[in-house]
């Protein structure tokens, strides 16, 4: 090469230098993308859900309650688990949960059959639907989870399926009771007695935030009126501030309107169903116009915990008489309730119990299925993994971190 002649790089050298330059240019972007992915995973990570799914959810999407003789699955369990999967950004499990429910609880025809409430081992040893009756609360949770999944994951199919199910509930599980108005029946069959003069009802079947979401999704539906009858039910059946598992609305012969009375089957006991009434009340946004009513009518459990370290297992609601020791799931369910009521001392006591018996429990000593479900609801909310907005929409912790 002559002196002064510029050195020309060969093609391979040029490619190497270009690749190095691009690598240096893209390294910060790659690192930022990895950091964003790590932040997203951290925001969505939910150890308690992973523990629950590992123990109770099969690979095909079936959620099993192994404590039941039939090792059954319920529409309630499937719908709750879909909500938990959404909160954990667990799209694969969400899809499997819903698909299993369609295939096995709705017979593969969700537009024709509402989900059966119970599936498991039948008396003849075969597996399938044990009780084809529906459960209206599970149907509403199914619809709610589908609506929210359609929004956050941009899945129009879920939205269409939710609206189909809502239409079925409105047509088949909502009845216009004289003197009470449109009311949510617990199921399609079996809760209207005495030649349509007594209706058995469940105060825990319609959380206010779900009703708000249904009002938004289906403004022409019966949900505002149904919520009004639900709130009247709670207001008129809590004389001592305690919710009952079941109540009845009875119209005396010859009368045109009725009144709430003790349930003819379960009596005036508040226990494993009623604990959810306090849970939903605690999750209701304080800006909701019904929040003050719930706070005023459901003060019994807060008062009981002023003199007891654990919630009672049962309460005779007409007298306010507590009985027994409630399981750890009850403590978890009461976390949102106690926080909403600013009951700091009781909240701390229940949090300590939940931490030691549920969150830090060893694999072989995990609480029963229902305690874990209540634990997921209560601790998920208190840890701000999810909240309900005033319009009923979910505010998920991972949404901002996972664009």
What element of type H or E holds 261?
strand 259-262
Helix (H, G, I), strand (E, B) or coil at 403: coil
Sequence-distant (6+) residues with CB within 8 A of 293 are 231, 234, 235
Q: Which of 158, 185, 145, 168 is nearest to 221 (CA)?
A: 168
How far is Cα 270 from Cα 281, in angstroms, rounded to an integer? 15
CB 227 within 8 A of CB 206: yes
Q: Give the pair of three-digit tokens for residue 202.
A: 């469940």
> Are the beta carbons of 181 and 225 closer than 8 angstroms?
yes
Q: Which of 65, 76, 148, 268 is catalytic?
A: 76
Instruction: Decide: 119 and 105 in contact? Cβ < 8 Å.
Output: yes
Q: Of 38, 65, 124, 137, which residue is the catalytic one?
A: 137
Verify whether residue 173 is a known catalytic residue. Answer: no
> What are the helix and strand counts (H, E) for the chain?
15, 14
Residue 288 φ/ψ, nearest 5 degrees:
-70, 140
DSSP designation for 179: T
DSSP 8-state secondary structure symbol assigned to residue 363: G
Phi/psi class of residue 198: alpha, beta or left (left: φ > 0; alpha: ψ in -120 to 50)? beta
Active site residue 302: no
Alpha carbons 203 and 297: distance in angstroms, whole number: 13
Backbone angles phi, psi at 387, to 5 degrees: -145, 160
Active site residues: 76, 137
């Amino acid at each position: 090469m002559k002196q002064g002649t510029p050195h020309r790089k060969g093609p391979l050298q040029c490619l190497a230098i270009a690749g190095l330059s691009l690598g240096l240019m893209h390294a910060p972007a790659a690192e930022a993308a990895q950091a964003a992915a790590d932040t997203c995973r951290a925001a969505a990570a939910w150890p308690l859900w992973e523990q629950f799914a590992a123990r109770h959810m099969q690979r095909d999407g079936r959620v099993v309650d192994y404590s039941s003789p039939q090792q059954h699955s319920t529409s309630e369990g499937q719908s709750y688990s879909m909500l938990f999967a959404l909160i954990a950004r667990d799209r694969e499990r969400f899809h499997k949960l819903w698909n299993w429910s369609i295939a096995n609880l709705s017979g593969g025809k969700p537009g024709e059959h509402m989900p059966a409430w119970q599936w498991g081992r039948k008396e003849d040893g075969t597996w399938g639907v044990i009780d084809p009756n529906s459960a209206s609360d599970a149907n509403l949770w199914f619809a709610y989870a589908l609506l929210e999944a359609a929004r956050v994951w941009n899945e129009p199919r879920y939205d269409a399926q939710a609206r189909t199910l809502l239409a079925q509930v409105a047509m088949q599980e909502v009845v216009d009771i004289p003197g009470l108005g449109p009311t949510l029946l617990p199921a399609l069959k079996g809760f209207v007695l005495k030649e349509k003069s007594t209706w058995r009802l469940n105060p825990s079947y319609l959380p206010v935030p779900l009703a708000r979401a249904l009002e938004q999704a289906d403004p022409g539906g019966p949900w505002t009126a149904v919520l009004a009858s639900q709130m009247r039910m709670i207001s008129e059946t809590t004389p001592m501030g305690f919710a009952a598992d079941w109540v009845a609305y009875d119209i005396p012969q010859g009368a045109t309107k009725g009144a709430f009375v003790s349930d003819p089957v379960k009596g005036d006991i508040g226990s494993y169903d009623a604990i959810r009434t306090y849970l939903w009340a605690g999750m209701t946004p304080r800006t909701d116009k019904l929040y003050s009513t719930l706070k005023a009518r459901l003060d019994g459990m807060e008062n009981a915990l002023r003199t007891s370290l654990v919630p009672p297992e049962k309460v005779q609601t007409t007298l306010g008489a507590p009985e027994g020791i409630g399981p750890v799931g009850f403590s978890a369910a009461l976390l949102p309730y106690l926080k909403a009521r600013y009951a700091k001392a009781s909240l701390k006591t229940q949090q300590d119990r939940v931490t030691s018996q549920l969150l830090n429990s060893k694999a072989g000593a995990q609480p029963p299925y229902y305690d874990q479900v209540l634990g997921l609801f209560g601790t998920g909310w208190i840890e701000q993994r999810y909240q309900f907005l005033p319009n009923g929409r979910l505010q998920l912790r991972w949404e901002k971190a996972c664009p």
